[in-house]
């Protein structure tokens, strides 16, 4: 198999360009992903692995000692005792008591995938133990993110005695204070960045509490909710609740945990890796009617992996919270009625198409605003627009971050019923910049009406008259973090392959390293010296290519959403030329046939 790699890489500022590519079509410098050659050899020889697998493992810091658990992650080996988390036992006892006493309980969730999967998980658990659970997801436009006093008090008036917040609540000081004063018990299950003070609640479970040891700080809300369900189940068992009735099989809901974990873009290492690895196996069984219906309307035929969770199922679950009904995702994932599941899935499919159109319109306006900025103003991308739909600002922020390699905040201006004008925003960050900490600091300084987040993502609401002050504050915070490590537009690669070597055998060998995601990136290679036989446009803005190699190989390739980018233009004008094409390799199944396809991330002309 013709595969080459550069010597182990050194820090980006001093590392030689991989394949001598210092400026690609996308303006990036190509680098070899750092790895230890001796470690790679030890892994491949000691475990009987292909050389390429050993090299990729070494580049991800896997050692011979943890190789087996990495390749075969199990909950038995990686699952902690839930009681290790502060307030977990108090949370479990309170929720178990509500189950046993038949109290009216509601789960208050977020409108993204992590919130929807967490809420659905709790509802499925309640139903499995003979109770029901009301799901409340706030309207993104009318209520905004997280618990609000009006909603909590309304739930109390309707007879709810316990509310469990999932994927929110850690910063809801005033709403939870109002709930407590009204006699409403609240349990917080969250994972967002916490402050020294905690909100008033029966229990606050959060691996990012400052008094936690940080060992599980990368858990998403669905992971926290699963640990809570384990603890509640144990409390019910100890109380004798299962005498005469079957206890639920908690493992059957790991498909929800896997979906939430992948879509919240937390590192797929340690416990997260085990949750996703086992959860994808459950997802493949198609036992959840909502997930099955969603896969059907999306035309998903392959065995699900992290790509399908993150890019096929996730966006559709998200679509309801962005441009449709905020609770549609949680309802879909918690229903056992196949007819209702199909109806909800079709509604979400329609909302997803609407979301794409709205997103594209906002993205074009935001990019125009950014292009009008001077280069020195782009250390933090901060785009503000009238009439932008707040449901797509997070996606647009992600697109801007990818395009400009800078932290990005996208702010939609809206007018409240009382006539005040505010900006509702989402931000996405890059490695090396803790955007959530910057937003929390801005809120603590009184610049925000609300705000919070974590290292890679944040959200906030700001009064219009404080917008410029906030932008200066966040830019200063970002600049301080970047001063130690300036951002360079780079692309890390795991090696170079010929067109002929990029075959099914190689993809199958690499698949044993999945699931892929943050913390375990999908292996990316440069397909070297590939001649562009054909390049054309498919769909709305994708660029499709057929590549040929000197070794006689042929390879299909696709650059998604690339038509109006420098990469897309470079590919379309290079018919007959020879390029280095960087991307990830996957199996393409069509009409019963399997072939390899390259998902293009970048391209460059070979240098002398």
% of the chain beyond a pLDDT of 90: 81
Specify the pLDDT at position 485.
67
Q: What is the pLDDT of residue 143?
A: 86
Of 383, 121, 354, 155, the C-alpha closest to 232 is: 121
Model pLDDT, residue 2: 37
pLDDT for 6 equals 36
Nearest-CA neighbor of 126 among 99, 107, 158, 144? 99
The pLDDT score that the predictor gives to residue 45 is 92
Distance CA 112, CA 328 (A): 10
pLDDT at 402: 87
Assess contact for 364 and 383: CB atoms under 8 A: no
Q: How far is CA 282 from CA 257, 290, 292, 304, 458, in A?
A: 10, 14, 12, 10, 31
Determine the pLDDT at residue 8. 39
The mean pLDDT of 447-475, rounded to a whole number, is 93
pTM: 0.86
403, 26 contact by CB (below 8 A): no
Lowest mean pLDDT among 90-94, 216-220, 337-341, 433-437: 433-437
1 pLDDT more than 50: no
- Residue 360, classified by CB atoms within 10 Å of its CB into exposed (0-12), middle (13-18) or buried (19+), is middle
Say whether pLDDT at 313 is over 70.
yes
pLDDT of residue 14: 56
Q: In the predicted model, what is the mean pLDDT of the chain? A: 93
Which pLDDT does position 142 carry in this prediction?
A: 82
Give the tokens for residue 596.
């390899």
Dist. CA 171–CA 556, nearest whole Å? 48
Residue 164: predicted pLDDT? 98
Q: What is the mean pLDDT of residues 355-368?
A: 93
User: Which range has the top average pLDDT, 232-241, 381-390, 424-433?
Assistant: 232-241
Kindly tell me if the per-residue pLDDT of 222 is higher than 90.
Answer: yes
Report how far Cα 503 is from the mean position of its chain's Cα atoms.
Answer: 29
pLDDT at 136 over 50: yes
HSE toward the beta carbon, residue 202, CA cutoff 13 A: 22
On the question of pLDDT at 174 being above 90, the answer is yes
Minimum mean pLDDT range among 10-24, 236-250, 424-438: 10-24
Q: Does position 536 have pLDDT exceeding 80, yes or no?
A: yes
């Amino acid at each position: 198999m013709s595969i080459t790699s550069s010597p182990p890489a050194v820090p980006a500022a001093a590392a030689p360009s991989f394949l001598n590519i210092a400026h690609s079509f996308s303006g990036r410098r190509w680098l070899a992903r750092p790895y230890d050659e001796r470690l790679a050899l030890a892994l491949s020889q000691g475990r009987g692995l292909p050389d390429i697998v050993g090299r990729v493992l070494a580049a991800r810091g896997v050692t011979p000692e943890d190789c087996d658990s990495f390749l075969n992650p199990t909950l038995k080996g990686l699952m902690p005792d839930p009681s290790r988390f502060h307030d977990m036992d108090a949370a479990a006892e309170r929720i178990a008591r509500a189950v046993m006493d038949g109290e009216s309980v509601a789960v208050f969730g977020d409108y993204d995938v992590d919130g929807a999967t967490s809420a659905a998980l709790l509802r499925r658990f309640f139903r499995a133990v003979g109770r029901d659970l009301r799901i409340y997801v706030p309207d993104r436009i009318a209520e905004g993110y997280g618990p609000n006093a009006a909603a909590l008090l309304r739930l109390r008036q309707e007879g709810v005695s316990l509310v469990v917040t999932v994927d929110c609540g850690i910063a809801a000081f005033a709403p939870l204070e109002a709930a407590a004063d009204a006699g409403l018990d609240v349990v917080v299950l969250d994972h967002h960045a916490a402050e020294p003070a905690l909100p008033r609640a029966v229990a606050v479970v959060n691996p990012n509490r400052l008094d936690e040891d940080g060992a599980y700080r990368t858990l998403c809300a669905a992971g926290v909710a699963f640990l809570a369900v384990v603890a509640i189940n144990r409390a019910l068992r100890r109380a004798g609740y299962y005498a005469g009735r079957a206890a639920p099989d908690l493992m059957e809901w790991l498909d929800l945990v896997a979906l939430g974990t992948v879509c919240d873009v937390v590192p797929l290492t340690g416990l997260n890796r085990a949750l996703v690895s086992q959860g994808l196996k459950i997802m493949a069984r198609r036992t959840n009617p909502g997930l099955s219906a969603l896969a059907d309307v999306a035309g998903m035929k392959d065995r699900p992996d992290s790509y399908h969770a993150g890019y096929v199922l996730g966006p559709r679950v998200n679509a309801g919270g962005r441009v449709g009904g905020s609770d549609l995702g949680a309802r879909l994932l918690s229903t056992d009625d196949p007819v209702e599941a199909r109806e909800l899935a079709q509604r979400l499919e329609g909302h997803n198409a609407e979301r794409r159109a709205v997103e594209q319109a906002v993205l074009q306006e935001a990019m125009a605003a950014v292009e009008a900025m001077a280069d020195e103003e782009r250390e933090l991308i901060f785009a503000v627009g009238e009439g932008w739909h707040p449901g797509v600002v997070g996606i647009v922020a992600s697109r801007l971050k990818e395009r400009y390699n800078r932290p990005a905040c996208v702010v939609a201006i809206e007018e409240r019923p009382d006539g005040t004008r505010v900006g509702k925003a989402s931000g996405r960050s890059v490695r090396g910049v803790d955007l959530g900490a910057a937003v929390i600091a801005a809120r603590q300084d009184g610049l925000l009406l609300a705000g919070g987040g974590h290292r890679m993502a944040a959200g906030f609401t700001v009064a219009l008259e404080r917008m410029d002050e906030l932008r200066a504050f966040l830019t200063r915070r970002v600049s301080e973090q970047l001063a130690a490590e300036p951002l360079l537009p780079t692309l890390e690669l795991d090696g170079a392959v010929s067109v002929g070597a990029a075959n099914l055998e190689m993809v199958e060998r690499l698949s044993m390293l999945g699931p892929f995601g943050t913390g375990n990136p999908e292996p990316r290679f440069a397909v070297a010296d590939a001649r562009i036989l054909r390049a054309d446009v498919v769909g709305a803005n994708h660029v499709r290519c057929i590549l040929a190699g000197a070794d006689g190989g042929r390879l299909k390739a696709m650059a998604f959403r690339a038509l109006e980018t420098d990469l897309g233009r470079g590919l379309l004008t290079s018919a007959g030329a020879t390029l280095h094409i960087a991307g990830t390799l996957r199996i393409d199944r069509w009409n019963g046939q399997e072939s390899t396809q390259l998902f293009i991330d970048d391209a460059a002309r070979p240098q002398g």
